[in-house]
Structure 1
Amino acid sequence: MLNNIIKPPAECGKPVIYLYPQSEIDVNVKVGIDRLTETIPAYSSEGWTVHAYPDGSLYNYADNQTYPYLYWEGESDNQSSANQGFVVKRKELNDFFDRSLAKLGLNKTEITDFKDFWVSRMLDNKEPYFFISFIGTKDFNKIAPLSITPAPDSLLRVFMYYQPLKNFVNVPAQSLTAPERKGFSVVEWGGTSNVPWRK
């Protein structure tokens, strides 16, 4: 039986934001979520202001440090449903994410970062299957809208919901498509679950 409603407070686990400008540029990023619980680098009342480079590296003015992405965790009082998705065997998680995240538009580095964070946490559960669904940019904007100045030419947000399962169940398959990445592009991934996922 699937508990496929992401209920408030929906906890957003390690969303990370990558900024890829075409040329060096200062960027301000704000996350519009009800409660931020952790951020790297530190998040001020004005959000993050960074100097972004085309290779994705970010110089943070507040602490004079360079980061590969902006990291946040938080809780939202909004809810979203996960009515479509996939049921995946635990031993097939890596291959599943390689295929699915590429279809959603993530590059190899972003896919590796995603798997490094999530797969080991998922495998802490002993169940043989996982229900996995992806919430796209439109629905994720309702949970945690982003304010980015200057505005990007393309925004890709991938948010995963997973639920460990003792038995295989049939679920409606989810169609995975990727928007075009163009110009100043911003990419974000994150996730949550109906079970504890923190190490």
Structure 2
Amino acid sequence: EIRHNDIKPMAECGKPVIYLYPEEPTDVSVKVLIDELTVTDPYYGEDGWFVRAFTDGTIFNYADSGTYPYLFWEGQKKGGLSPTKGFVIAREEVETFLDSSLAEMGLNETEEADFVGFWLSKILENKEPYFLFSFFGTQDFNKIAPLEITPKPDTLLRVFMYYDPLDEPKFILPQELKGVDRTGFTVVEWGGTSSVPWQK
């Protein structure tokens, strides 16, 4: 049974980062259409980000002439998340589970390392022996925080993780994870949130 009352009334999106992989150096406009942006890097102006993206994923931001590996934002969406499928994972298996799940959904080694580097320690700060995980894919993430990207990417891969620390295992319907073929101009994004405070 899922403890729906544990899910925050605001869907708080933790460190979503956006990677841009064009087939050739390309000027790209990126807007995040969410109720409230709380943190961005680089600075997110009235018209969003306007950057030059390179084939190796490097991003040049015109506003500050800075170079970035990705675009970073945090924000809040009215209305909570209610996962109905997922996984219950023992504490000692969390890192292995994340590595395999992220790879299955299509993240590359760099993206996976960035994700685990940010989230693993925050997850394991909770001392419970089990964790419920659920992943919201591109279609569901688009409902939480739509992206407006020009030019439109050929491939959009969005991965949003929800986790809930558990004192004991709970039943949840198993979730099927699906990847995508990364072809053409590819945009990848990952983020997450939890039933418990994760920001320190």
Per the shorter chain, which TM-score range?
Answer: over 0.9
2:87–2:133 Cα contact (<8 Å) kept: yes
1:37–1:72 Cα contact (<8 Å) kept: yes
Counterpart-to-counterpart distance in 2, 1:155 and 1:30? 14
Deviation at 1:197, TM superposition (A): 0.3
Paired residue type of 1:198: Q
Q: TM-score, normalized by length of structure 2?
A: 0.96
Aligned to 2:168: 167
Aligned to 2:129: 128
1:189 pairs with 2:174: no
Aligned to 1:19: 20
2:154–2:184 Cα contact (<8 Å) kept: yes
Matched position secondary structure for 2:50: strand
Counterpart-to-counterpart distance in 2, 1:111 and 1:30? 23
Deviation at 1:7, TM superposition (A): 4.3
Paired residue type of 1:3: R
Question: Structure 1: 5+ residue runs without aligned partners?
Answer: none
Counterpart-to-counterpart distance in 2, 1:157 and 1:67? 19
Matched position secondary structure for 2:142: helix
Deviation at 1:99, TM superposition (A): 0.6
1:4–1:83 Cα contact (<8 Å) kept: no
1:138 pairs with 2:139: yes
Q: TM-score, normalized by length of structure 1?
A: 0.97
Aligned to 1:62: 63
Question: Structure 2: 5+ residue runs without aligned partners?
Answer: none
Deviation at 1:4, TM superposition (A): 4.3
1:78–1:143 Cα contact (<8 Å) kept: no
Paired residue type of 2:157: L
- Residues 67-115 of structure 1, C-alpha deviations (whole Å, 9 max, x = no match): 0000000000143320100011111111101110111110111010000
1:3 pairs with 2:3: yes
RMSD across aligned positions (CA): 1.1
1:84–1:171 Cα contact (<8 Å) kept: yes
Paired residue type of 2:183: K
Aligned residues: 199
Counterpart-to-counterpart distance in 2, 1:11 and 1:111? 21
1:82 pairs with 2:78: no
1:80–1:139 Cα contact (<8 Å) kept: no
Paired residue type of 1:180: D
Counterpart-to-counterpart distance in 1, 2:4 and 2:21? 33
Paired residue type of 1:112: A
Counterpart-to-counterpart distance in 2, 1:188 and 1:138? 12
2:2–2:84 Cα contact (<8 Å) kept: no
Q: Percent identity of the aligned residues?
A: 59
- Residues 23-72 of structure 1, C-alpha deviations (whole Å, 9 max, x = no match): 00000000000000000000001000110000001000111110000000
Deviation at 1:142, TM superposition (A): 0.7
Counterpart-to-counterpart distance in 2, 1:85 and 1:26? 38
Counterpart-to-counterpart distance in 1, 2:175 and 2:134? 7
Deviation at 1:179, TM superposition (A): 1.6
Deviation at 1:118, TM superposition (A): 0.4
